Structure 1
Amino acid sequence: MPANKDGDGGWKSFIWNSDKKEFLGRTGCSWLKIFIFYVIFYGCLAGIFIGTIQAMLLTLSNYKPTYQDRVAPPGLSHSPRPDKAEINYNINDESTYLPYVNHIDAFLKAYNEDVQKDDTKFEECGDKPQFYTDRGELESDNGVRKACRFRREWLGECSGQKDEKLKNYGFDDGQPCLIVKLNRIVNFMPRPPASNDSIPEAVRPKLQGNVIPIHCSSKREEEANLLGQIKYFGLGTGFPLQYYPYYGKLLQPQYLQPLVAIKFYNITTDVDVRVECKVYGENIDYSEKDRSQGRFDIKFTIKTKS
């Protein structure tokens, strides 16, 4: 059967037409025009994209988030911090409470005296609560700022340092410690309570100036008699103001936030005891959706039976 004259060559002729000097239906001049068009087109798109990114970067600070309106300051966290907010162990079985002890050990290493020796990075801010420490504006030319030293020994019976008996932070005696901190927020300055009416009565006699107080109590009213005595260790009865504001990782890479150690002396054993700890301040809020905002809940189950 003779081949169709118009279709002679078929797809081969479409790929390269030697008579018209066309590749895929276009001449070299046509391909050059298309190439130049797309180079200019995508070049303009890339230029617009780079320009908008550069314009956005001009509005951003290297030292703090531009928008902090969705940050709900501050979070309250503790060590040890088990996954299910439950501390469950047996006094007679070291393997059950050793993970909690190791967690506190690892956390407090940053507060060891040898870590804070460098006078170019750390400074003494007093052994009593004081007012905020002003180290200049974030965007100033002051460069890296010093941080206040925090002595681990201030944590008293929860420091894990005084003697061999305290190395397990009370877990082996059924008197466990929690090490509590306010989470870091750049340039945030927590304000003490405006009046005594906003804090529990138990806190008022011990309240000091220049401190964000903390208080723990039973989560359920019917469990109040199961909690027993609580004692707080640290610089004052809460978080002292001289450690604020925090200037961020670039300007204060060595920053140590103040700590409060909480020791529970007489928690009833072999039952579940739920505890709530809260900090109190004029600009500290709480939320049912975020259980770490300004407070935390934890359940203790200390067993004595094998």
Structure 2
Amino acid sequence: MATTDKMDYEIPSYMVRPPTYGKWESVRLGIWNPTTKQFLGRTAKSWGGIILFYLIFYAALAALFAICIQGLYLSLNENSPTWQKDQSLIGDNPGMGFRPIAKDVETAGSLVWYVASDENSVKEWTDSLNAYLEPYTQKGGQNQKVCDYDNAAGDKVCVVEIDKWDPCTASHNYGFNNSKPCFFIKLNKIFGWQPEIYNDPSELPEDMPDDLKQHISSLNGTARNNIWVSCHGENPADKENIGPLDYFPKSRGFASYYYPFTNKKGYLSPLVAVQLTNPKLNVLINIECRAWAKNIRYSKMKSEREGSVHLEVLID
């Protein structure tokens, strides 16, 4: 019978069962394996390669980001927007706003509701107005001057003269405690926008309120150079409940010398204070205020309101 010699050969490593280690030994070898010279599963050469890769990758990413930011800065002007008026997202038709507004705007919306005999209820609204009007009450602001229709701002900005709001001032609690509340109307700022004024009584629009037409006709010369403001009850019942209104300043509008807005330091938007002098109590009153200029478009649609603002007043 033939005999077969045993052949000696080396068993491949992948066929050899790995040694069994305890938990602590496995953790220790996972951190540093003295046999393979591996730290956390990688050799020094492997770690060097991956670190070098990520250094180059993130350096290139940072350089690309820096180039993009620098390109953006080069395209911007600190003093004026790149896209203006009808070329911009906000367009060339200024919106309107009012103050005070409720702390919880999402819940209260445009409702001004308070109890005239409750000091805390009154204080909530007067504090809101005080905070909003604080920049206007700081006398002697930088780069400001007192203007009039024959004395424009020039290189400075025109001061908003708060004494012309009286009695809609903090010293009178803005009329809230006397059930004669004041609210303030403003036009939103649009860079470079210049109003086209209704200053000729013979060219006033037909839908302009008669009392405003009479007011404009009573003025002379440059005193007519205003963006006019009118407020009224929106519905027939509101017209009965709103009572007489007073406007401050007595010019009843935003003076043209505050425009255009060009982002000069110290600029503050002009405000018109409107006071309800005898509103009906315990009734919700819907109010609409509208700005009048030839280049202010008007739309009453609630979803796309233009050239006007809506608010509600409820005095208990």
Give the one of 101, 113, 116 matched to 2:139.
116
Aligned residue identity for 1:196: L
Query: For 2:42 and 2:270, how far apart are their aligned partners in 1?
Result: 75
Query: For 1:200 and 1:190, how far apart are their aligned partners in 2?
Result: 17
Give the one of 128, 149, 158 matched to 2:159.
149
The answer (yes or no) to whether the contact 1:87–1:298 under 8 Å persists in 2 is yes
Give the one of 61, 71, 75 matched to 2:77.
61
The answer (yes or no) to whether the contact 1:270–1:302 under 8 Å persists in 2 is yes
Quote how far apart the aligned CAs of 1:230 are.
Answer: 1.0
Aligned residue identity for 1:117: G
**1:163-209: per-residue Cα shift (whole Å, max 9, x none)?**
xxxx1222232222112222333333333359512751322222353
Query: For 2:270 and 2:44, how far apart are their aligned partners in 1?
Result: 75
Matches within 5 A, 1:156-195: 156-161=166-171, 167-193=172-198, 195=203
Aligned residue identity for 1:65: P
Matches within 5 A, 1:62-141: 62-68=78-84, 69-72=88-91, 73-82=93-102, 83=105, 84=108, 85-112=110-137, 115-117=138-140, 121-126=143-148, 129=149, 133-135=153-155
Aligned residue identity for 1:87: V
Per the alignment, residue 43 of structure 1 pairs with 59
Per the alignment, residue 281 of structure 1 pairs with 293
**1:93-135: per-residue Cα shift (whole Å, max 9, x none)?**
33322222222233333333xx2225x5221212xx4686453
Q: Which runs of 5+ in 1 are unaligned?
A: 136-145, 162-166
Aligned residue identity for 1:296: V
Query: For 1:89 and 1:239, how far apart are their aligned partners in 2?
Result: 28
Give the one of 226, 229, 248 matched to 1:214.
229
Query: For 2:195 and 2:152, how far apart are their aligned partners in 1?
Result: 10
Per the alignment, residue 201 of structure 1 pairs with 209
What SS is found at the alignment partner of 1:168?
Answer: helix
Aligned residue identity for 1:260: V
Aligned residue identity for 1:215: S
Aligned residue identity for 2:161: R
Q: TM-score, normalized by length of structure 2?
A: 0.72
Quote how far apart the aligned CAs of 1:33 are.
Answer: 6.1
Aligned residue identity for 2:208: P
The structure showing larger relative contact order (alpha-carbon pairs under 8 Å, at least 6 residues apart) is 1
Quote how far apart the aligned CAs of 1:31 are.
Answer: 6.6
Query: For 2:276 and 2:249, how far apart are their aligned partners in 1?
Result: 15
Mark the CA change 1:44 to 1:160 in structure 2 (over 3 Å): closer, same or farther. closer
Per the alignment, residue 138 of structure 1 pairs with none
- Structure number having the greater helix percentage: 2
Is 1:297 the counterpart of 2:316? The answer is no
Query: For 2:113 and 2:49, how far apart are their aligned partners in 1?
Result: 75
What SS is found at the alignment partner of 1:103?
Answer: helix
Q: Which runs of 5+ in 2 are unaligned?
A: 1-9, 20-28, 217-222
Quote how far apart the aligned CAs of 1:214 are.
Answer: 0.8
Query: For 2:125 and 2:82, how far apart are their aligned partners in 1?
Result: 38
Compare 184-193 and 94-103 and name the one that shifted more.
184-193
Is 1:258 the counterpart of 2:270? The answer is yes
Mark the CA change 1:234 to 1:10 in structure 2 (over 3 Å): closer, same or farther. farther
Quote how far apart the aligned CAs of 1:291 are.
Answer: 6.7
Query: For 2:153 and 2:119, how far apart are their aligned partners in 1?
Result: 43
| RMSD between aligned residues | 3.5
Quote how far apart the aligned CAs of 1:218 are.
Answer: 0.8
Question: Between the two proteins, what is the percent identity of the paired residues?
Answer: 26
Aligned residues: 275
The answer (yes or no) to whether the contact 1:178–1:263 under 8 Å persists in 2 is yes
Question: Which protein has the larger Cα radius of gyration, Structure 1 or Structure 2?
Answer: 2
Query: For 1:124 and 1:131, how far apart are their aligned partners in 2?
Result: 8
Per the alignment, residue 142 of structure 1 pairs with none
Per the alignment, residue 6 of structure 2 pairs with none
